[in-house]
Structure 1
Amino acid sequence: MNALWAVVPAAGSGSRMASSESKQYLKIGGRSLLDWSVGALLAYPKLRACVVAVPETDVQQSREGSLGDARVSFCAGGSSRAASVAAALAALPAEDEDWVLVHDAARPCLAPQDLHSLVQNVSSTGVGGLLAVPITDTLKRADGQARVMTTIDRAGIWSAQTPQMFRVGELRSALDAARESGFVVTDEASAMEAAGFDVQLVQGSVANLKVTYASDMQLAAFWLKQIYPQDGDMAGTEI
């Protein structure tokens, strides 16, 4: 397999958390969400390095835990997720044919087996992909007054997660094309799809949640305790 790299967009504020502190720096078990998320990537033995895109004012901050690892570097992110990912990709000393993992800063509960499954499926097929889980809830489309317009058939519908893994050169070109056309990128897979690339779904776990609301912190603490039982009590969260 070609070299494997990682980037983590972490320049957002996480406004839905209703916290004065940026979401990625909130702590579970004494470690920030960003620390947990980056640490999960670094645990993969073949990972070369990881670039984290943070607010420009945070680039020179001192780092603890996995963020102080020699394989981790920082760059200034942009005003959108796509801009932050593009900035991090530009900072990678990677070849176009190398692979890159893009992981959310607010997904601290990435299990080693799920990361391994993604890397193995993508590298063996040569087709970029992402972790995802099939939707089990009934889906409703609402109007502007929160009234149901229709029920959506959930057959074949998946909930996208991260990491998402693609060729470095192809992802760079897909993000460039999206920016030039004005296409709104919600995740890297959407940019790759718009650029005409095949994208595969690799089944992950519901544990790999994205911390979005304050109530998600306790749920993330629960899953971290299942994934890393050796780390002790995860109940003490700092919000």
Structure 2
Amino acid sequence: MNKPPSIHAMIVAAGRGSRFGASIAKQYTTLQDQTLLQHSLARLGRSTYIDKCLLVIAADDNTAQQLEFAIPIYYAVGGEERWQSVKAGVESIIQTGANDSDLVLIHDAARPAVPVADIDQVIEAAMREPYGAILATPVADTLKTSHTKPVSIEEGSSTSPYAKRTIDRSNIWQAQTPQVFRLGQLRRVLNYVSEHQLSITDEASAFEHLELPIRLVSGSRQNIKLTYPDDAVLLSAILTIQS
């Protein structure tokens, strides 16, 4: 019988969260007496698959070491872009003696409400895949493309957006984290991103550039990401309901 792959958890917390507009890094925003980072690590620690986590932080981050976490952590220093931080984390995991067939679970510090059942579900799905699996939700809202000036306006100018076209959402999914990948394959696609200077927004999109299939696992809509200040109100309510 083949041995199950080891699971290496990683939280990427090297970003500044510029869209959030706070004076501190977004992952250190406090909800219910704990930072987002502490909440997110505690969620990972509730999974039976995870017993420790690699925390990728900025070189000048002096905050993480002052916090107490629910599970043991070790550190790597991230880069300017998210993929560079993930790549640094991958190299750190490889240095521990991990195998190419092992799984790397990558989670955003700003998603503190991910249900533990979803964490386990995406790990178990990735175990059956050659490349990996990610949590995602089918898009339910009507989606529009926009432009800044309708054709019918002949005079004046406007910088406000106007609806241009409705997008068919039947095959549109909103990506979440955790995202779980085979270690060797993740290293390969991140090297490809580096060599070709690609712009990616998540690790799954790196696999898409090479047309490598990543399984979509339907996740909970409670697994929202703190991106804008208004999100904090909703997240606080979700955490209260879940506790």
User: Counterpart in 1 of 2:156?
Assistant: none
Q: Distance in 2 between matches of 1:36 and 1:115?
A: 14
Q: Distance in 2 between matches of 1:143 and 1:182?
A: 28
SS of the equivalent of 2:128 reads: helix
User: Counterpart in 1 of 2:35?
Assistant: 32
Q: Contact 1:51–1:73 at 8 Å: present in 2 too? A: yes
SS of the equivalent of 2:5 reads: coil
Q: How does 1:70-85 map to 2 (within 5 A)?
A: 70=72, 72-85=73-86
Residue 187 to residue 16, structure 1, CA distance change in 2 (3 Å): same
Q: Distance in 1 between matches of 2:66 and 2:6?
A: 25
Q: Could you list the runs of 5+ residues in structure 1 that have no partner in the other structure?
A: 230-239
Q: How does 1:69-218 map to 2 (within 5 A)?
A: 69-70=71-72, 72-92=73-93, 93=96, 94-144=98-148, 145=159, 146-218=161-233
Q: Contact 1:131–1:204 at 8 Å: present in 2 too? A: yes
Q: CA RMSD in A?
A: 1.6
Q: Contact 2:49–2:120 at 8 Å: present in 1 too? A: no
SS of the equivalent of 1:164 reads: strand
**One-letter amino acid of the structure 1 residue matched with residue 5 of structure 2:** N
Alpha-carbon offset, residue 114 of structure 1 = 0.8
Count of residues in Structure 1 that have an aligned counterpart in Structure 2: 226
Q: Distance in 2 between matches of 1:154 and 1:61?
A: 40
Alpha-carbon offset, residue 59 of structure 1 = 5.7
**One-letter amino acid of the structure 2 residue matched with residue 81 of structure 1:** R
Q: Contact 1:23–1:106 at 8 Å: present in 2 too? A: yes
User: Which whole-Å deviations, capped at 9, do the CAs of 1:162-201 have from their partners, x for residues lacking one?
Assistant: 0000001100110110111121111000001112321110
TM-score, normalised via structure 2 length: 0.88
Q: Distance in 2 between matches of 1:41 and 1:59?
A: 23
TM-score, normalised via structure 1 length: 0.89
SS of the equivalent of 1:201 reads: strand
User: Counterpart in 1 of 2:59?
Assistant: 56
**One-letter amino acid of the structure 1 residue matched with residue 196 of structure 2:** S
